[in-house]
Structure 1
Amino acid sequence: MTPAPHHRTRPRTHHPPALDLIALRDQHLHHYLSYATLALPAAAARQALHDAFDDLARRWPDVLATPSPTACAWQSVRHHVARACPDLLGPVAHLTAPEQDVLLLHLVLGLPTAEVAEITGADPAAVHVRLRSLVRRAG
């Protein structure tokens, strides 16, 4: 009688990042780090970004097939930072994720709306609409 197969999880293997992923990371690293350090100590922020880009490296061919690899990178950063610090988005949890992005990146970190669009992979017009909506609700 043959023993039942064991279902083991595969050990995580290191996936060296592709050059275009490295370029994307390096292009926005300063802003990603600023975002992550809103609520995390510097070492934890760097670890969250490392985890985000390790995750992206594992699925990079699929990411490249999406309409916006930049948006995928931002979502990975956002996910890993939120996982490391669930309280980061607590005060803005009532907002949609894109509204949270505009609020934190533009209003808190002071990035121009064009940079917010570039970092998040969003349409610049959509960033302006979200910002106007936030200002209108606050006013």
Structure 2
Amino acid sequence: MTPAPSRAPARGDRRPATPAAPPAVALPPAFEAFYALHCACYLGYALAHVAESAAPRVLGEAMGEVVIRWADIVRRPNPAACAWTLVSTRIRQRGGGPGHDLEDLALRHLEQTALRHPALEYDAFVLHDVLGHSVEDAAEAMGQEVSRVRYALAAGRGRARPGAVGHPPASRLPDPARNTPQE
């Protein structure tokens, strides 16, 4: 028996090879549920910091970091807070579009030396005051207690008012007439 003739195409007849379909990546169902729950807040936050055309890519990069570290994140006491820290930090680092106006607006929040948690106050400000999310939704997306987000918003607003730093509001000052004995 003679071997079958080779049916390989001649060099000039070669077609470009079509790439194989990329492997399907199965994400953990808990991650997919987490992302579906927080997608709106996360995308809004990205849109507040980067150009609209770049926001999905920047958010995708940030969520890529989260999914890579997912196994470690879900072992922590507060996975939502850990994920928010990764996402918000990445988005702020990549910011460069219309978000600069927003950052200038909120710069007073970040420059105050008296702030204990400037990132919390800034993020609460962006999610609630700028993007219009409820305090509850902002707290859930950031992995914080609702009361803590309310306090951060109030503290930031108090320091943002001129002359408010270090002085209680006039309505809270003691009235000398009320502190003196009545005859």
TM range (shorter): 0.7 to 0.9
Establish whether residue 118 from structure 1 lines up as the match of residue 173 from structure 2: no
Measured in 2, the distance between the counterparts of 1:130 and 1:104 equals: 12
Q: Deviations over 1:56-106 (max 9, x none)?
A: 111111101111111122112212211211646454232610010111111
Matches within 5 A, 1:91-130: 91-92=106-107, 93-94=110-111, 96-130=118-152
Question: Does the aligned pair in 2 maintain the 1:113–1:124 contact within 8 Å?
Answer: yes
- After TM superposition, the structure 1 = structure 2 runs for residues 18-97 of structure 1, keeping only pairs within 5 Å, are 18-85=28-95, 87=100, 89=103, 91-92=106-107, 93-94=110-111, 96-97=118-119
Are 2:158 and 1:136 equivalent residues in the alignment? yes
Equivalences, count: 126
Question: Are the aligned partners of 2:127 and 2:133 in contact in 1 as well (CA < 8 Å)?
Answer: yes
State which structure, 1 or 2, has the greater radius of gyration over its C-alpha atoms.
2
The root-mean-square deviation of aligned C-alpha atoms, in Å, is: 2.0
The answer to whether the Cα contact below 8 Å between 1:16 and 1:57 also exists between their aligned partners in 2 is: no
Cα pair 2:124 2:149 within 8 Å, conserved? yes
- Which stretch shows the higher mean deviation, 16-25 or 119-128? 16-25
> 8 Å contact 1:117–1:123 — kept in the other structure?
yes
- Aligned residue for 2:15? none
1 or 2, which has the higher helix percentage? 1
In structure 2, the CA distance between the partners of 1:71 and 1:15, relative to structure 1 (3 Å rule), is farther
Partner Cα distance (2:56, 2:82) in 1: 18
Gaps of 5+ in 1: 1-13
Structure 2 CA distance for aligned equivalents of residues 55 and 101 of structure 1:
19
Question: Partner letter of residue 35 of structure 1?
Answer: Y
**TM-score, scaled to structure 1:** 0.80
1:121 maps to a residue whose letter is: G
Query: Is the CA contact (8 Å cut-off) linking 1:15 and 1:54 kept in structure 2?
Result: no
